A and B are shown apart, each in its own frame.
Chain A
Amino acid sequence: MADTGWTSCATSLKGVILDMCGVLYDSGEGDGVAIPGSVEAVRRLKASDLKLRFCTNETQAVREKFVAKLQRLGFDICISEVFSPAPAAVAVLRERGLRPHLLVYDALMPEFDGVDKSNPNCVVIGDAAEKFSYANMNEAFRVLIGLEKPTLFSLGKGKYYKETDGLKLDVGVYMKALEYACDVEAEVIGKPSATFFLSVLNDMALQPHEVMMIGDDLVNDVGGAQQVGMKGVQVRTGKYRPSDQQHPTVTADGTADHLAQAVDMILSRRGKP
């Protein structure tokens, strides 16, 4: 059942951030499938006076590729509205003058095209899937252990995700392996890191309390957003599990059956079309 208490904040809302996989679409064969009502919900948000951004931990493709996929599914979306960990990592590397050794999915490499990778002084890992071999892990380990102060960046810290042929280990698992090997703590770039959400808010030119995050991942979407002062609403699609409602540390500000319902509740509360 939809609870409606959380919509009281809708009147003072100035912007919305949407997670992508599990909220807009479900991944799978080919492009995957749009979640019913989500295409229309995005269109309604865009027609409203709310600012809209998209925020994903996708690191298996460059933004051009997965934005094109969403456009094929019917979504009105463009690259400049999408925030993902790789470009955020590039910004951090530039700011701190770091040269990365990359252990990421091949298709993600172009995001790092302009970055100096010679004589690396840090390691960046993403969801590298099949590239998480012993040899590649060892190479990353040797770069780290050879540094005076090992610096490890992880693009997200998920444990696993679901694909059509079963559960697959995510980047967080390999992040833990390198953390243990080198006795370091990784800096996480992407959800749920505060820096990541703040960079999106900065782009929207809005304050945290003026923005709501809607996602299917209780810890990374809802918890991450709440930690910087935003409202976090969970939808019961994607990786949502009923046990999320008894989570020990994160409680969503509100829930909805799916994105279409959440958007409908927000917009009708604001009394605008």
Chain B
Amino acid sequence: MASGRALKAVLIDLSGTLHIEDTAVPGAQDALSRLRQASVAIKFVTNTTKESKKNLLERLQRLNFDLKEKEIFTSLSAARTLLEKTKHRPLLLVEDSALEDFAGIDTSEPNAVVIGLAPDHFDYQTMNKAFRLILDGAPLFAIHKARYYKRKDGLALGPGPFVTALEYATDCKASVVGKPEKTFFTQALADLGCSPDEAVMIGDDARDDVGGAQSTGMLGILVRTGKYRQGDENKINPPPHMTCDTFPDAVEHILKNLL
């Protein structure tokens, strides 16, 4: 976005940007309030495969953030939006805690496979069921393709390996719906009535947040909290519009220079 173009929306990542586990980034609540006083739309965007919007909302409210459920857009929301558009009836391989984000979606006689992180569903029988559906022509939608994640008891397999497994078995390519996919960002902006060049994304993940947003045509601001590691800003080309120490610094930059 060239200077002089009006900024209409700010997309904000959650974990690592507003909070780290159960602790808010210092000053993040106040910074959010200041941003709300400016005339910009706000949306909270996150890659999650098991937490429903309601779960996320409750956690943020406990940390005294001021936000509403309808302002949250997740990779699960993106999957839902896609299913509504294509009118597919999915076999949902997601954890039960994520199912409420798919309430009302017809899942009878499935003709699509949606795969998130679902340890309880990744048994041989269910994988075979998904495999046969895909061989019969059902599209494969992946919430995201993370290799593994950190659990209290150690590292654990993410959805990526199981998505890759089904891709290999069926010679097909999954459509990924979460960050850093372009469609994720354009869907997040859809009901705000603004185009990518009128929006800015703030996040701690250089590739998924900043890189993804910028290749959609938005500006990206990288924050040095959460999963940020020194030198992350050099991992993407073009580099971030801006790298700030924390979320409050990013808000300060927006209020001073982008409005």
Q: Which residues of A contact B (CB under 8 A)?
A: 129-135, 137-138, 141-142, 145, 159-160, 166-169, 172-174, 176-183
Contacts and interface: CB of A to CB of B under 8 A. Distances in A.
Contacts of A130: 123-125
B97 to A, nearest CB: 16
A169 B124 contact: yes
B228 to A, nearest CB: 22
17 contacts: A131-B124, A132-B127, A134-B119, A138-B119, A142-B155, A159-B168, A166-B132, A167-B135, A168-B128, A176-B164, A176-B167, A176-B168, A177-B161, A179-B164, A180-B165, A181-B148, A181-B158
B122 A134 contact: yes
A177 B165 contact: yes
B235 interface: no
Nearest to B135: A167
A132 B168 contact: no
Given A133-B123, A138-B156, A141-B155, A181 B161 contact: yes
6 pairs of A and B residues whose beta carbons are closest in the complex: A177-B161, A177-B165, A134-B122, A180-B164, A176-B168, A134-B119
Nearest to A165: B128
Contacts of B184: none
B124 A132 contact: yes
B115 to A, nearest CB: 12
B62 interface: no
A137 B122 contact: yes
Name which of B120, B147, B157 has the most chain A CB atoms within 10 A of its CB.
B157
A141 B132 contact: no
B148 A167 contact: no
A60 B147 CA distance: 29
A133 B132 CA distance: 18
B231 interface: no
B169 A180 contact: no
Interface string B121-157: 0111101100110010000000000011000001111
B148 A145 contact: yes
A134 B120 contact: yes
Name which of A134, A159, A172, A179 has the most chain B CB atoms within 10 A of its CB.
A134
